Amino acid sequence: MKHQIVLGHNANTKEELINMIENKQWDSLLKRVKIKPGDFFYVPAGTIHSLGKGILVLETQQSSDSTYRVFDYDRVDSNGKLRELHLDKAIDVTIIPHELKESGYMVINKDEATITKFVDSEYFSVYKWEVNGSFSYSQN
């Protein structure tokens, strides 16, 4: 697959997740999804995910400095050392089993605009507006 992301895993229990990580069974553990420009994926907290090479994304998230790595493609830092993994912390926060959250797109055609609602959660909403010509919108 040329363009893909990792989105979720195939472990059914915490023990299975730990075993697959310890045995570096990445091809069996990680779910890979083909992508194309314009795709939208909702990635809730606790979801194992990563981007493939050459992929540009807009990531909407709550501000945090927490990234827990379970696998890092054996990349090395500027000193030639493997980058740090955070296995215990990652395992603790990973949702098991993984469930793909369908965002339930809603498309609204209004005048000269097509509005797609990707996510409407308690914490945030994500919309895509495609405007052909001119469009006026006022928020109540």
Look at residue 130 in the predicted model and tell me its pLDDT. Answer: 93
Instruction: Choose among 33, 28, 25: nearest CA to 10.
Output: 28
Q: How many CB atoms lie within 10 A of CB 86?
A: 14
Look at residue 104 in the predicted model and tell me its pLDDT. Answer: 72
Q: Reading across the β-sheet that carries 106-110, which strands appear in turn? A: 106-110, 113-120, 125-131
For each successive 10 residues of the chain (140 residues), what is the average pLDDT? 88 97 95 91 90 84 77 88 91 92 80 90 87 84
Please name the residue that has the structure tokens 């890979």. 32
For the whole model, what pTM was predicted? 0.79
Q: Which residues are catalytic?
A: 69
